[in-house]
Structures are given as C-alpha cells and as structure tokens.
Amino acid sequence: MKEYEAVWEIFNLCSGNQMRDVFVEELELDDLDAFIQEKFKGEDVSYEKTVREDGTVIFDIQTSQIRQRYSFTEL
C-alpha cells in the first residue's frame, strides 16, 4: 500500500459563487481507480484521470451534474 495526501474538491453549481468545498485527508491505498469507483458507487459517474510529471494523480469527476476533483499526492 502507498500513502497519499488526498484533496477532494466539490465545485459549486452557482455561477455567481466560485467557492468550493475542500476536504484533505491522508489515505493508504493500493488502487486509486478502485477507490474512486467505490467512493461514487451507485451514482451516474464519469471521470478523467491525469498523471502529472511530479506524480500527482488527478481525477476530474462528473456525477449528478456536480463537478468534483480528487488529487492524490504520494507521501
């Protein structure tokens, strides 16, 4: 298992309000894709995965018309 700092951002639907909810936690995970699939299990979800040069893994997620993002940085 690897340890990650996970940042979960939930973007606001209101165009006049650019604030978003941000949650930060440390997680031990074997499979990031499996974590995302389990986290949003039972929802109509699509996501795009990006791996940056520095190793950060970003999932841009669309579920129930809400845009969200999970960023994982290995500790």
Token pair listed for 2? 């690897």
d(CA 58, CA 51) in angstroms, rounded, equals 6
Mean pLDDT check: name the lowest of 6-10, 15-19, 64-68.
15-19
Write down the pTM of the prediction: 0.88
Token pair listed for 42? 């039972």
Confidence grade of residue 11 (pLDDT, cut at 50, 70, 90): confident
Contact 30, 22 (CB under 8 A): no
